[in-house]
């Protein structure tokens, strides 16, 4: 498929800051960065700073730790004095200079969607992890020139080129323009021998770039991406951008995505994509990041209206930013025809199962999880299972129940769709930040009633989600099951696959009460050798309330614990159709799912 011509940037203001990125020795994993700054105040120390985090990924990642060989030069090329004033800030003395050139190298060997990576096959970099900025001059326009190490390496970025690519002037496609530092930091760059496809939706060009090897059917992926874009555009009533890039990294075993205003980067295990379930998960990731082009990049909380790159930006509604997006990633696939209603409900069932296996769901609220993302979500430890909840996972389920609740209360006239479009019209299209109260008011306008009880219980509080209350009007119920036909008594140990070392112990479980904890190494059960793999089958031979002797190494000491077992606990939850549906239930179910499940008088399980 042909590539629509890129729109050439026509800067309204001259660029006073110009970056050049080179990569002459890809095997060194070092990106060489040069920043030319004009109109510097003579005799006034010039400060330069590197962001401590990448917007969209809420963790201080200390990008400055990868900077080396910093130097500053005058217009004539003479070295200038400089000093480090804190972990990510450099100060240059420009005596009598009206322009300063800064050069430095950045070690790039972390292949994630939020960092930088350079090897013999490609370079990928995020502006927030690479480009210095002058505090106070972030609103100025920037220009960027990228110099690949080989003539056949191509450049892919959502930044607008400064000139049209031309066979007679190949360097013309190597220079780009950004309106300000926010756009520069928000526009990742992929350089290398990637595959490239394109398509247009509503006349807007979309580019699909793939680096790496794997089993992805590129033609199918591009066709499905186009479906997802069309469905999402129809949801919001149009596209909010004039171009969009999907940058796909097929890695050895990665998973992740990061949203940007005009692009998204997806990292996915390349050798799994021939499997239908894995491919659907890839499409869900793609739909998730695309949805962020509306929700988060333009429709965003007040705390993210203006990014502070130098410290944490605290937000109490990431449960909506990420949770609603996580819910809609599968709604979009359903409405695109990629998922069936049964598959959609199966995904919801799996999400419920994961949440109900997380003890921290009754300890940390969604508001707390959102606010503490900077110190908790991305820094899990052995007690995270007991003390935390994912605002992605629980946020998605709460937004789902909110959708059902609004549909029921409004008798089908409103939905989460209604609230989302309302928020888009009031805030998103103007890129005006909203507050928590603004969110609540949008949901209540859609429902036509006060939703204070719902928010107090499930967003601000830690009450168990009352699934059946919200499911019954839609002719559904939630059933608890066991994943094994002969479920073992409950002990409370978790293993992460690293041998027999215990990764987590559930608070309040028999094992925790006995004194076993994460880091202990499982050795024997009632005097016989046992492993993490064989423990469930061995426990199945016991009855609830029987006492076992579990032997573990705590440090270098062999210890024996006598533990009374608890009854088995369900570990799989399934959404099932009620045997009989009223006309009202049928109407709500069909309006939500687009179809009816099962037939009247039959109990139709939706999860095998």
Cα(397)–Cα(402) distance, rounded to whole angstroms? 8
Q: Check residue 10 and give its pLDDT.
A: 63
Report the chain's mean pLDDT, rounded to a whole number. 94
Provide the pairing of β-strand 244-251 with 263-269. Answer: parallel
Same domain (yes/no): 250, 181: no
Residue 450 and residue 546 in one domain: no
* 524 occurs within a structural domain: yes
341 and 451 share a domain?
A: yes
pLDDT over threshold 70, residue 304: yes
Mean pLDDT calculated for residue range 556-580: 97
Edge-first strand listing for the sheet containing 46-49: 46-49, 89-92, 82-86
Q: Is the same domain home to 422 and 350?
A: yes
Residues 271 and 163 in one domain: no
CA distance 188 to 245: 10
Please indicate, yes or no, whether residues 38 and 175 belong to a single structural domain of this protein: yes
Is 55:303 a contact under the CB 8 Å cutoff? Answer: no
Query: Residues with Cβ < 8 Å from 445, sequence gap 6 or more?
Result: 414, 418, 419, 422
Find out whether 243 and 5 touch, Cβ atoms under 8 Å.
no
Would you say residue 90 has pLDDT above 50?
yes
pLDDT digits (tens, 9 = 90+) for 417-464: 999 999 999 999 999 999 999 999 999 999 999 999 999 999 999 999
- Kindly report the CATH number assigned to the domain that includes residue 439: 1.10.390.10
| Residue 9 domain-assigned (yes or no) | no
pLDDT higher than threshold 50 for residue 169: no
Q: Give residue-wise pLDDT tens across range 497-533.
A: 778 999 999 999 999 999 999 999 999 999 999 999 9
597 occurs within a structural domain? no
In a domain, 311, yes or no: no
Mean pLDDT of 140-151: 96
- Within this chain, do residues 184 and 243 fall inside the same structural domain, yes or no? no
Q: Average the pLDDT over 37-66 and give the result.
A: 95
Burial class of residue 426 (count of CB atoms within 10 Å of its CB; 0-12, 13-18, 19+): middle
- Give residue 261's pLDDT: 98
Angle formed by the axes of helices 393-409 and 323-335, to 10°?
70
187 plus 211 within the same structural domain? no
CATH number of the domain that residue 162 is part of: 2.60.40.3650
- Tokens 């369900």, located at residue: 570
Where residue 550 sits, what CATH number does that domain have?
2.30.42.10
Domain match, 448 and 334 both: yes
**For residues 189-213, average pLDDT:** 96
Which one of 141, 165, 192 terminates a domain? 192
Residue 604 in this model has a pLDDT that exceeds 90? no
With respect to residue 593, please indicate whether it lies within any of the assigned structural domains: no
Same domain, 438 and 553: no
* pLDDT at res. 9: 65
> What is the average pLDDT across 266-286?
96
| Integer Cα distance of 355 and 88 in angstroms | 38
Going from the C-alpha of 26 to that of each of 128, 508, 605, the distances in angstroms are 21, 52, 54
The pLDDT value given to residue 7: 67
Indicate whether 521 and 388 sit together in one domain. Answer: no
How far, CA to CA in Å, does 434 sit from each of 233, 425, 429, 522?
22, 12, 12, 50
Above 70 in pLDDT, residue 384? yes
Average pLDDT rounded to a whole number, residues 474-502 = 94
Q: Look at residue 97 in the predicted model and tell me its pLDDT.
A: 87
Per the CB < 8 A criterion, the answer to whether 200 and 229 are in contact is: no
Question: SS3 for 230?
Answer: helix
pLDDT at 286: 98
Query: What is the pairing mode between strands 195-201 and 189-192?
Result: unpaired
- Domain C-terminal end among 443, 474, 505: 474
Query: Would the pLDDT of 236 be above 70?
Result: yes
Section 458-478 average pLDDT: 98
Specify if 358 maps to a domain.
yes
Q: How confident is the model at residue 601 (pLDDT cuts 50, 70, 90)?
A: very low
Q: What is residue 598's predicted lDDT score, i.e. its pLDDT?
A: 65
Number of domains within the chain = 4
| 56-80 average pLDDT score | 96
Share of the chain above pLDDT 90, in %: 91
Tell me whether residue 571 is in a domain.
no
Domain annotation covers residue 578: no
Q: Distance between CA 510 and CA 490 in Å, rounded? A: 8
Based on the domain organization, do 322 and 435 belong to the same domain?
A: yes
Enumerate residues 6+ apart whose C-beta is below 8 A from 294: 232, 236, 240, 424, 428
409: domain range?
Answer: 318-474
Q: How are beta strands 67-73 and 99-107 bridged, if at all?
A: antiparallel
pTM tops 0.85, yes or no = yes
């Amino acid at each position: 498929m042909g590539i629509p011509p890129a729109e050439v940037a026509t800067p309204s203001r001259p660029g006073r800051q110009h970056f050049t990125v080179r990569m002459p020795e890809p095997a060194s994993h070092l990106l060489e960065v040069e920043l030319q700054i004009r109109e510097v105040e003579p005799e006034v120390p010039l400060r330069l700073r590197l962001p401590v985090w990448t917007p969209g990924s809420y963790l201080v990642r200390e990008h400055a730790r990868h900077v080396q060989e910093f130097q500053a030069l005058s217009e004539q090329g003479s070295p200038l004095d400089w000093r480090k004033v804190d972990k990510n800030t450099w100060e240059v003395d420009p005596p009598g200079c009206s322009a300063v050139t800064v050069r430095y190298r950045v070690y790039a060997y972390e292949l994630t969607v939020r960092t930088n990576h350079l090897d013999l096959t490609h370079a990928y970099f995020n502006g927030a992890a690479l480009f210095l900025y002058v505090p106070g001059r972030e609103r100025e326009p920037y220009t960027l020139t990228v110099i690949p190490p080989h003539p056949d390496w191509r450049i892919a970025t959502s930044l607008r080129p400064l000139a049209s690519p031309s066979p007679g002037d190949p360097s013309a496609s190597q220079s780009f323009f950004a309106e300000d530092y926010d756009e520069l930091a928000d526009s990742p760059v992929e350089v290398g021998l990637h595959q490239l496809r394109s398509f247009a939706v509503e006349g807007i060009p979309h580019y699909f770039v793939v680096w790496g090897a794997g089993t992805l059917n590129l033609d199918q992926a591009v066709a499905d991406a186009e479906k997802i874009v069309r469905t999402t555009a129809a949801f919001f009533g149009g596209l909010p951008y004039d171009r969009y890039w999907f940058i796909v990294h097929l890695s050895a075993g990665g998973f992740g995505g990061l949203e940007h205003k005009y692009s998204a980067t997806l990292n996915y295990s390349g050798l799994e994509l021939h499997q239908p379930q894995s491919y659907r998960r890839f499409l869900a990731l793609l739909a998730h990041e695309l949805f962020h082009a509306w929700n988060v990049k333009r429709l965003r909380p007040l705390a993210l209206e203006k990014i502070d790159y130098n410290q944490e930006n605290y937000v109490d509604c990431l449960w909506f930013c990420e949770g609603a997006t996580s819910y809609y990633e599968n709604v979009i696939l359903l409405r695109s025809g990629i998922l069936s209603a049964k598959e959609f409900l199966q995904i919801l069932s799996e999400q419920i199962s994961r949440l109900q296996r997380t003890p921290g769901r009754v300890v940390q609220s969604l508001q707390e999880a959102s606010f503490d993302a900077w110190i908790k979500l991305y820094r899990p430890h052995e007690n995270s299972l007991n003390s935390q909840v994912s605002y992605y996972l629980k946020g998605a389920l709460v937004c789902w129940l909110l959708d059902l609740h609004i549909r029921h209360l409004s008798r089908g006239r409103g939905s989460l769709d209604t609230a989302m479009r309302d928020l888009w019209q009031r805030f998103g299209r103007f890129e005006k930040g909203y507050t928590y109260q603004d969110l609540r008011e949008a949901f209540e306008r859609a429902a036509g009633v006060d939703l204070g009880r719902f928010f107090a219980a499930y967003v601000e509080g830690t009450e168990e989600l009352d699934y059946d209350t919200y499911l019954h009007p839609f002719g559904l119920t939630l059933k608890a099951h066991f994943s094994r036909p002969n479920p073992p008594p409950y002990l409370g140990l978790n293993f992460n696959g690293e041998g027999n070392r215990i990764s987590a112990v559930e608070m309040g479980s028999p094992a925790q009460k006995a004194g076993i904890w994460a880091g202990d190494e499982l050795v024997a059960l009632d005097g016989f050798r046992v492993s993490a793999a064989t423990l469930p089958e061995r426990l199945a031979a016991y009855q609830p309330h029987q006492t076992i002797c579990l032997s573990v190494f705590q440090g270098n000491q062999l210890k024996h614990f006598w533990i009374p077992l608890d009854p088995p606990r369900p570990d799989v939850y399934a959404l099932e159709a009620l045997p009989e549906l009223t006309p009202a239930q049928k109407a709500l179910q069909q309006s939500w799912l687009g179809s009816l499940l099962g037939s009247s008088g039959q109990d139709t399980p939706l999860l095998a």
